[in-house]
Amino acid sequence: MNEKNSFDINFGLLFYNIISRLWLIILSAVILAGITYSYVAFFVKPVYSSTATLYIGSSNGPATIGDVNISDSLAKDYEVIIRRRKILDEVVRRLDLDMTAGQLRQCVSVSNVSNTRILDITVTTPDPARSKEIADTICIVASDELVSIIKDDYVSIVDVGNISSSPSNINMPVSMILAALLGIFLSVLYIMIRTFADDKLRTAEDIERWLGLSVIGTMPYAKEFDNAMSGVRKKRSKKRSDSGT
């Protein structure tokens, strides 16, 4: 029974310490959110994504289930072909880009919509207009290249790229909220550690609970008495120093 009560009192003390140090929790959340905002604003370079879409159709009439299954497997080949140096070199040449085909490849991702002949080509660069321009040009160059490879199919551009108004690698509100939550967690964890690591005996109940001793009486602490004794000790120390000289 005593063990259960001790846990109740400990958690009650923890709750009290959390409430009494609410300022610390709020301050930690604000500081970490501010640090995150400053870091993202000054050190994270924003990049913008633009996505264009290709459709690879069959020239032999409506697609059958077998055609869809084959096209799904071929889509992986198309993804690799589009990111090959031959196509990217042509894109670099047409747009007069200040980068190599290998550097451009790092900015390009190709994905296939499952069970379809649709390919999404996404380009990510620091310039939203440049991202769109590259995505559109890749679609144009890839269309010609794929048609020459897959003789019985045709390639058409379904969607051109978009000019994004917001960066794809930065979400400031979410970043600040996560930082604030981390600040709250760390401050509460600090309070918990301080609370449960504190083994000082402050009350008669603490002595009875942890030492198993009965308290007969208590001596009140008088701050004035302590100050007076401190003054007496200073005077004695001064007299000794004077007599020594």
pLDDT at 226: 60
- d(C-alpha 174, C-alpha 105), whole Å: 29
What residue ranges define each of the domains in the chain, with the CATH number in brackets? 2-40+173-236 (no CATH), 48-159 (3.30.70.1130)
Tell me the two tokens of residue 8. 């109740």
DSSP 60: T
- d(C-alpha 105, C-alpha 89), whole Å: 10
The answer for residues whose C-beta is within 8 angstroms of residue 172's C-beta and 6 or more apart is 37, 40, 41
> pLDDT 10s digit of each residue in the chain, 245 long?
444 444 445 677 778 888 989 999 999 999 999 999 999 999 999 999 999 999 887 666 555 555 555 556 667 778 888 888 999 999 999 999 999 999 999 999 998 877 778 889 999 999 999 999 999 999 999 988 888 877 656 788 899 999 998 999 889 999 999 999 999 999 999 988 888 776 666 666 666 665 666 666 666 655 555 665 666 566 666 666 666 55
pLDDT at 100: 92
Tell me the two tokens of residue 126. 């620091």
Instruction: Report the DSSP pairing between strands 153-159 and 48-58.
Output: antiparallel
Tell me the two tokens of residue 115. 């069970």
42-48: long-range contacts, CB 8 A cutoff, minimum separation 24: 44/169, 44/170, 45/126, 46/126, 46/167, 46/169, 46/170, 47/124, 47/125, 47/126, 47/167, 47/168, 47/169, 48/124, 48/125, 48/126, 48/127, 48/128, 48/131, 48/163, 48/164, 48/166, 48/167, 48/168
pLDDT at 72: 60
- d(C-alpha 17, C-alpha 10), whole Å: 10
pTM higher than 0.85, yes or no? no
DSSP 165: S
Which value, to the nearest 10 degrees, does the dihedral of the CA atoms of residues 161, 166, 170, 173 take? -140
pLDDT at 48: 96
DSSP 19-58: HHTHHHHHHHHHHHHHHHHHHHHHHPPP-EEEEEEEEEEE
- d(C-alpha 122, C-alpha 75), whole Å: 15
- d(C-alpha 35, C-alpha 16), whole Å: 29
Please state the separation of Cα 159 from the chain's center in Å. 32
pLDDT at 236: 62
pLDDT at 7: 45
Nearest in space to 21 (alpha carbons), one of 188, 178, 180, 197: 188
